[in-house]
Amino acid sequence: MDKVTFANENLMIQIQENVRGQDVFVIQPSCSPVSDGIIELLIMLDALRSASAGRITAVIPYFPYVRSDKKDQPRISIAARLMADLIQSAGAERVITMDLHAPQIQGFFSIPVDQLTARNLLCSHLERRDLSNSVLVASDVGEVKDVGAFSRILGLQMAIIDKRRTGNDDKAKATHLVGNVEGKEAIIVDDEIATAGTLCEAADFLRQHGAISVRACATHPILCGPAMERIQESSIEEVIVTDTVPVPRAKRIPKVNVLSVASIFGEAIRRIHHSESVGAMFDN
Amino acid sequence: MDKVTFANENLMIQIQENVRGQDVFVIQPSCSPVSDGIIELLIMLDALRSASAGRITAVIPYFPYVRSDKKDQPRISIAARLMADLIQSAGAERVITMDLHAPQIQGFFSIPVDQLTARNLLCSHLERRDLSNSVLVASDVGEVKDVGAFSRILGLQMAIIDKRRTGNDDKAKATHLVGNVEGKEAIIVDDEIATAGTLCEAADFLRQHGAISVRACATHPILCGPAMERIQESSIEEVIVTDTVPVPRAKRIPKVNVLSVASIFGEAIRRIHHSESVGAMFDN
Amino acid sequence: MDKVTFANENLMIQIQENVRGQDVFVIQPSCSPVSDGIIELLIMLDALRSASAGRITAVIPYFPYVRSDKKDQPRISIAARLMADLIQSAGAERVITMDLHAPQIQGFFSIPVDQLTARNLLCSHLERRDLSNSVLVASDVGEVKDVGAFSRILGLQMAIIDKRRTGNDDKAKATHLVGNVEGKEAIIVDDEIATAGTLCEAADFLRQHGAISVRACATHPILCGPAMERIQESSIEEVIVTDTVPVPRAKRIPKVNVLSVASIFGEAIRRIHHSESVGAMFDN
Amino acid sequence: MDKVTFANENLMIQIQENVRGQDVFVIQPSCSPVSDGIIELLIMLDALRSASAGRITAVIPYFPYVRSDKKDQPRISIAARLMADLIQSAGAERVITMDLHAPQIQGFFSIPVDQLTARNLLCSHLERRDLSNSVLVASDVGEVKDVGAFSRILGLQMAIIDKRRTGNDDKAKATHLVGNVEGKEAIIVDDEIATAGTLCEAADFLRQHGAISVRACATHPILCGPAMERIQESSIEEVIVTDTVPVPRAKRIPKVNVLSVASIFGEAIRRIHHSESVGAMFDN
Amino acid sequence: MDKVTFANENLMIQIQENVRGQDVFVIQPSCSPVSDGIIELLIMLDALRSASAGRITAVIPYFPYVRSDKKDQPRISIAARLMADLIQSAGAERVITMDLHAPQIQGFFSIPVDQLTARNLLCSHLERRDLSNSVLVASDVGEVKDVGAFSRILGLQMAIIDKRRTGNDDKAKATHLVGNVEGKEAIIVDDEIATAGTLCEAADFLRQHGAISVRACATHPILCGPAMERIQESSIEEVIVTDTVPVPRAKRIPKVNVLSVASIFGEAIRRIHHSESVGAMFDN
Amino acid sequence: MDKVTFANENLMIQIQENVRGQDVFVIQPSCSPVSDGIIELLIMLDALRSASAGRITAVIPYFPYVRSDKKDQPRISIAARLMADLIQSAGAERVITMDLHAPQIQGFFSIPVDQLTARNLLCSHLERRDLSNSVLVASDVGEVKDVGAFSRILGLQMAIIDKRRTGNDDKAKATHLVGNVEGKEAIIVDDEIATAGTLCEAADFLRQHGAISVRACATHPILCGPAMERIQESSIEEVIVTDTVPVPRAKRIPKVNVLSVASIFGEAIRRIHHSESVGAMFDN
């Protein structure tokens, strides 16, 4: 692909080789600047379609607007569904992605979607240490289901931080701990870390409730805004993420461990190209 | 509507009055026999469309196949998305439904959906009793988010039953309680009660962990298979449901309290017909 | 395929083998319970699509709602068209079926349809006997075209039973015979036999008009409701049908001859898979 | 509408008045030159759509390619379905037409279709004479259903001309008469008269079988090729048609009676515009 | 293909060989009668689709209604877009065409389009003569862009004829010459020649402005209406066209030179069938 | 509308008032940051659709990617067509825009488009001065058609700058002037001014060819990159543009005259809302 950004900010993307009849996989990270990345993906898909590619698969490790997946306020867009529509409208015939915020999001597409997971990768990393005194923690009721999956793989117990709005405050704060972390090593599990605000607040809360250490693990390292400062200054010992979103060198501080999902995506692409089962990659 | 079921089980539905240009609302419960109900809805929608109805709204209090909302095993259908496609394909231009298993399901549609909720209705009923010693319980990690919403309205704490597969058993069993019910009045919250297996098992588990009483509340009373026997024989004191699914007289035993959602649906239909806000019905 | 019917009557269908890129043929009979069969077909098609099957062909020997093919009353659905829409909406890319009630129904689809016929099979069976004194009979003006096709193959003359409403009776009755069956062996030809009411009434009427024997032949043996009692007690000597609809052992009484269409469907599937002509199967 | 045909045969159609938001009915006859008429209709529909018409109804008294409604030979187009697709693709939101060759053709559309009928008009005209010695005749097995409808309205018996291919002849010839016309006044009923070949052959055949007179009635007067000479020279006494297809003065010979359908279409348009029932026009 | 035109002007097209799974290219010239040609193309495409062709490419050397490509008056159709819609609606999956009036027209399609050009072919022919004293002329401001492309290939200067409406005349007339042709050999370049009115008027105008000779070159020879007489009687020395539109023998007068595009289309079809680059055919 | 941009750059747009059944016009400028503007428009459209707006019109004064309107190189996207698809996919039912780069772009939409023009506004401004010694100039062959329209309104002659690639230089340079500007006041006409590179080069070129002054006029003031410096330092006396793209105070230097199109858009919106003719706004 050859990409030019004109002075008027318009992109011009030219595919450099003949792709007629080819089985094409377009890999597009969803990182800053986010809107440019989306438009770039859509233009690439359209260029491939009009260049008569045989089959076009969009490989989107972190799906854009993945948390705008429900209409929890009146008169808003379910933007993740809109993104699915746009990607299909631009010509994608198949999508590969990883760890969607909710598994239902797969139903937003009318083309086949292969949803991969970094769960086994993250659990393997966690298991390098002795977990016998560990407890898994959901930093919000919305994440409990995900934590449940980890707890089944690792055979650990879990705790949940319950957040409420108090007084006139518009923002919910951690008020109760459901379960027990006293004297335990806590591991907070989430699907993504954005500004790390919730995460660091949770870590403090857990320490107040007696946790002897706090680690965090998540698939998608958005790490935007004040995230790095917060993590650096927090009581969190280790943050384990993957590289579904590029983590620049400046963010690769000692506390942050970045596991590569390259071989998971590579294997999925190989299987799809050869019509082998992708589901079989995640069987136990 | 005039409905004939022929000896070959085929339905013939004739709309008895001119509907040209009318704003039509088709109300279809999703109860046994389920498949017949779906086909009946689709044929009614198609008949209305070909009869030139002005606008066709499908009112589906309990959405069929609502729990088949994700691809948690390889090579299965996300049947709730399929139902959404079929209903649109048959001619619905708008859908009104209540308390979907996951809020993301709204994103399965490309037509406007008004999702109503019975949450306030159920909470009001619960509040008739003194709740100061009560705790809300999720019978599964998948239900915690829903329980969280109730806990915010009622200002109660919560507990979660964690289920695991043990030994060679294929079925998960309640193994841990996250949180505390000792000496408390437990209220199990769920979106639907089908065979009541999970529910009654949870009730026993809570009593073993010291709960002094167990009640249950859910929007959708499927109450199929052995549900009524199980409820009758269980330690559950009260089951509070709505009538999104018809509850026949035989199932209206003293333990079961059925609240009517008729006025909620009626008000939503009135507002939609007059282009008034539906979101405003659920504002606090 | 692995099929589970839950207590709430919802189906869960899982394809047991990897079908990525495969040329898949789904064979679905349309027999009682009819609605369940339709929903099952739609879910299977959707599961195959989301499992990335290469091409999905729905093989539907007897097409559901095939007689709801016109709008002969105001404000009804042309349900056969609706079924075509649903089947396409669920993911079928091609349909194979047999002897549609009207050949125009093929035009309800926007995907390729291969319509097979059992006509040659039925005629071959009829020709085992001496037909020199036989006459083909249409039991209704709506069936004459079909009977004409048989009469051209077999070189026989035909007669038509004309039905009218008399007096205040809502149901049409056989009132006239167009043509002559006096002293002849009559063979009633139809596309399907449902309750056998029309058929048995026709047989009596033909005997009254001098037919020395009556046989009947039809492609689709619905045989629902009182069909078997009526046939057993009627003056009909033989009923020749195929197995496009399963005929259980209890219905396989001596009078009923069931011819297998398995090899016709098998050959059509073989030809489609290998891109050979299906039309050539029925050339003369 | 302003229509220019350029020297290169391209049409340019301009709507002369503002139609934004208007309820527009486009009336297009389907007469020679047929292809020009179809293209003209499609361009008018598209012009109306892009001119923001409120609702666009195509009024097509005789539907083009109406007899290409089935795939009775391999590898042909069901051109009537194609026409339905094109008309919808060009912007029609509703269609009004009359006496389709087969009622199933209505199922080719996914927009509402109002199918009007000239049957009552034609029957009223026939009833002006004493019909007590008349018999209705289908000139082909394919027309029997239509004849049956007339026979029920008029209370008359019917007969069918059975055509077969004989010897090496490629064309089917009338070989048998099913029913009896001896000493009767025969009325041949069809949906359209094109070259009048079948019709005039049928008239001779009926006279040979003893009919004392032959009349013919049909909704659509295509009257193309040698039709007028054949009718003029035939033994047919009267041909009753409507003006769904324009009948120029030269074809209005004494034998040909043209009934106007203008008021039927006018009333249907009035009712559709005012959202009144169209079905009620044809109730008995 | 076997094509029958019935007396009612309806076409019946039957594909004579099995095309299941084949890569089919349908070549359709757009010549008089134009509407018949369009309908014929649409029916062929639909027949191929329903005959299960593997991939259907419409090869349309001169695209119909190509100059109706904008809405330069209110309430008209952009008929070239409509044609694109109809061709896709009838089943084309790909289009090959040549020298569209405006390159934007390619954007009217949502299927891949290969736009070939005869520019190199025409330039090679022009270069057979000494062009050192030649100037390229656009007969209208609308054609300047095209002329610019020729001027870049041939390294020639250009001039433009500017047309204005004068007085009450409804038709624009050549009033100014932008640039200079005095003492030069003028070559008028256009994409098509229809009635040759503009062309011959331009030639006279150029001679009046001192051009010592005038030649013309265009891809598409519509040559309709008075075109041949005008060209014959004009001062134009030579008219160079291709055979994208068939040029019958009667129009092949000495002044008219017809270059064949057969090998360009042949090569494009070969490359598409073998998934080779078509763009590479026109690289410099 | 309430718009929040989260730290992860995701937008959340909430419509603040009930819009059910309302006729909504969304006005979206296409200025820097361009991609954010496009995504914002798409999310607003989707939010309005799901909020049941009665009719949604996207008002886009300067259409994004308007110059990516053709496939002038292999394997690129016609991005303007893609934008049209995305805008429709997100829910727009109608578009209002101004002075598209080519009029054919209107054909990229399948919804009604009202294309307004600032031509009369710009000409009125030009006519404030004495134009008797003026000549209109196209800075490239691609702009001649547009210049022709101005020349017809103003009754002026025109000239064209012909650009060629010379030597090994990849960029085309102005090499010839077609027509004459000697001793004239030149007015360069274009549809947009982006970096002003072409424009300023053209001004110099015209001065070298004897123009006594140079002015420029264009509808869309992108004015990106080095545009302002170039204009400031150039020999251009005046640049006349509109405010289809916001012109910030810093760019409103004395040389730049910004005319407001607000009343043109306002009037068009008024007319569309009241179903009055928009074409009538631009009649002469």
Each residue's pLDDT tens digit, A35-66: 999 999 999 999 999 999 999 999 999 999 99
pLDDT, residue A169, reads 64
Residue E222: pLDDT band with limits 50, 70, 90: very high
Share of chain B above pLDDT 90, in %: 88
Pick from D194, D214, D196, D192: nearest CA to D205: D214
pLDDT surpasses 70 at F284: no
Query: What CA–CA distance (Å, rounded) separates A219 from E206?
Result: 73
Q: Across the beta sheet with E94-98, what order do the strands follow?
A: E23-27, E55-60, E94-98, E113-116
E3 labelled catalytic: no
Pick from C213, C243, C239, C209: nearest CA to C227: C239
Residue E124 burial (10 A CB sphere; 0-12, 13-18, 19+): exposed
Residue range D150-159: average pLDDT?
A: 94
Nearest to D106 among C70, C73, C144 (CB): C70
Any idea what the Cα angle at residue A39 is, between residues A36 and A40, rounded to 5°? Answer: 80
Q: Across the beta sheet with D256-259, what order do the strands follow?
A: D173-178, D157-164, D134-138, D185-193, D213-221, D238-242, D256-259
Q: Which residue of C has its CA nearest to D144?
A: C141
Residue range A69-89: average pLDDT?
A: 96
Say if residue C74 is preceded by a cis peptide, omega within 30 of 0. Answer: no
Contact E119, E149 (CB under 8 A): yes
Phi/psi for F237 (5° steps) reads: -80, -45
pLDDT surpasses 90 at A172: no
Q: Which residue has the tokens 């915010």?
A: B152
Give the closest-approach CA distance of E102 to chain F in angstroms. Answer: 8
Pick from C246, C191, C221, C222: nearest CA to C28: C246
Each residue's pLDDT tens digit, C220-252: 999 999 999 999 999 999 999 999 999 999 999
Each residue's pLDDT tens digit, D73-82: 999 999 999 9
Residue A241's DSSP bridge partners are A258
Mean pLDDT for chain A overall: 94
Looking at residue D99, what DSSP letter applies?
-
Q: Describe the crossing of helices C34-50 and B79-89 by its angle, rounded to 10 degrees.
A: 110
The residues, any chain, with a CB within 8 Å of residue B200's CB and separated by 6 or more, are B230, B231, B233, B234, B236
Each residue's pLDDT tens digit, B35-49: 999 999 999 999 999
Query: What CA–CA distance (Å, rounded) separates B214 from B184?
Result: 9
pLDDT, residue D175, reads 83
Residue range A111-126: average pLDDT?
A: 96
The residues, any chain, with a CB within 8 Å of residue C249's CB and separated by 6 or more, are none
pLDDT, residue E177, reads 94
Pick from A124, A123, A155, A137: nearest CA to A213: A137
Mean pLDDT for chain F overall: 94
Distance of CA C191 to the CA centre of its chain: 5
Residue C283: pLDDT band with limits 50, 70, 90: confident
Q: Do chains B and E touch (3 or more CB pairs under 8 A)?
A: no
pLDDT surpasses 70 at F177: yes
Residue C165: pLDDT band with limits 50, 70, 90: confident
Query: What CA–CA distance (Å, rounded) separates F84 from F105?
Result: 9
Distance of CA D277 to the CA centre of its chain: 23
pLDDT, residue C170, reads 67
pLDDT surpasses 80 at F168: no
The residues, any chain, with a CB within 8 Å of residue A215's CB and separated by 6 or more, are A126, A185, A186, A187, A188, A236, A237, A238, A239, A240
Each residue's pLDDT tens digit, D192-217: 999 999 999 999 999 999 999 999 99
Query: What CA–CA distance (Å, rounded) separates B114 from B116?
Result: 6
Residue range C80-88: average pLDDT?
A: 98
Are D39 and E43 an interchain contact pair (Cβ–Cβ within 8 Å)? no
CATH code, B4-117+263-282? 3.40.50.2020
Higher pLDDT, residue E165 or A189: A189
Pick from C99, C102, C159: nearest CA to C123: C99
Report the 10 Å Cβ neighbour count for D233: 10
What are the boundaries of each domain within chain B? Answer: 4-117+263-282, 119-259
- Topology alike, domains F4-117+263-282 and F119-259: yes
* Distances, alpha carbon D161 to alpha carbons A182, C190, D151, D204, in Å: 96, 20, 16, 12
CATH: 3.40.50.2020, 3.30.450.20, 3.40.30.10, 1.20.1250.20. Which one for E119-259? 3.40.50.2020
Contact C172, C140 (CB under 8 A): no
The residues, any chain, with a CB within 8 Å of residue B211's CB and separated by 6 or more, are B135, B181, B182, B183, B184, B185, B186
Give the closest-approach CA distance of D89 to chain F in angstroms. Answer: 10
Q: Which residue spans within chain D are E strands per DSSP?
A: 2-5, 11-14, 23-27, 55-60, 94-98, 113-116, 134-138, 157-164, 173-178, 185-193, 213-221, 238-242, 256-259
pLDDT, residue C164, reads 80
pLDDT surpasses 60 at A254: yes
Give the closest-approach CA distance of D146 to chain C in angstroms. Answer: 9
Phi/psi for E217 (5° steps) reads: -145, 140
pLDDT, residue D116, reads 97
Q: How many helices (H) and strands (E) does chain C have?
A: 7, 13
Give the closest-approach CA distance of F198 to chain D in angstroms. Answer: 36
Residue B168: pLDDT band with limits 50, 70, 90: low
Q: Do chains D and F touch (3 or more CB pairs under 8 A)?
A: yes
- Out of D163, D173, D184, D255, the active site residue is D163
Helix intervals (H) in C97-226: 119-126, 144-154, 197-208
pLDDT surpasses 60 at E284: no
Quick one: residue A265, left, alpha or beta (phi over 0 = left, psi -120 to 50 = alpha)? alpha
Chain C residues with CB under 8 Å of a chain E CB are 94, 112-113, 272, 275-277, 279-280
Are A46 and F7 an interchain contact pair (Cβ–Cβ within 8 Å)? no
pLDDT, residue B141, reads 86
* Distances, alpha carbon B219 to alpha carbons B118, B215, F175, in Å: 6, 14, 78
Mean pLDDT for chain D overall: 94
Sign of the Cα pseudo-torsion (C105, C107, C108, C111, in order): positive
- Out of C163, C171, C184, C255, the active site residue is C163
Contact E19, E44 (CB under 8 A): no
Sign of the Cα pseudo-torsion (C81, C82, C83, C88, in order): positive
Share of chain A above pLDDT 70, in %: 98
Mean pLDDT for chain B overall: 94
Question: Which 3 state secondary structure label does DSSP give B49?
Answer: helix
pLDDT, residue F164, reads 80
Query: What CA–CA distance (Å, rounded) separates E39 from E196?
Result: 27
Judge if ipTM > 0.90: yes
Residue B135's DSSP bridge partners are B157, B186
Lookup: tokens for E33: 């009668």
Lowest mean pLDDT among A37-46, A83-92, D145-154, E209-218: D145-154
Q: Do chains C and E touch (3 or more CB pairs under 8 A)?
A: yes
Residue range C87-111: average pLDDT?
A: 97
Looking at residue B53, what DSSP letter applies?
B
Nearest to A179 among B138, B147, B179 (CB): B179
Share of chain C above pLDDT 70, in %: 98
pTM above 0.90, yes or no: yes
Phi/psi for E270 (5° steps) reads: -60, -45
Residue range B111-131: average pLDDT?
A: 96
pLDDT, residue B284, reads 56
Q: Tell me the one-letter amino acid at B256.
A: V
Are E52 and C277 an interchain contact pair (Cβ–Cβ within 8 Å)? no
What is the SS3 string spanning C247-265? CCHHHCCCCEEEECCHHHH
Instruction: Report strand pairing: A23-27 vs A55-60.
Output: parallel
Sign of the Cα pseudo-torsion (C178, C179, C185, C188, in order): negative
pLDDT, residue E75, reads 95
Residue B282: pLDDT band with limits 50, 70, 90: confident
Residue F175: pLDDT band with limits 50, 70, 90: confident
End-to-end CA distance of chain A: 39
pLDDT surpasses 90 at A168: no
Are D20 and F94 an interchain contact pair (Cβ–Cβ within 8 Å)? no
Lowest mean pLDDT among E166-170, F66-70, F74-78: E166-170
pLDDT, residue E167, reads 67
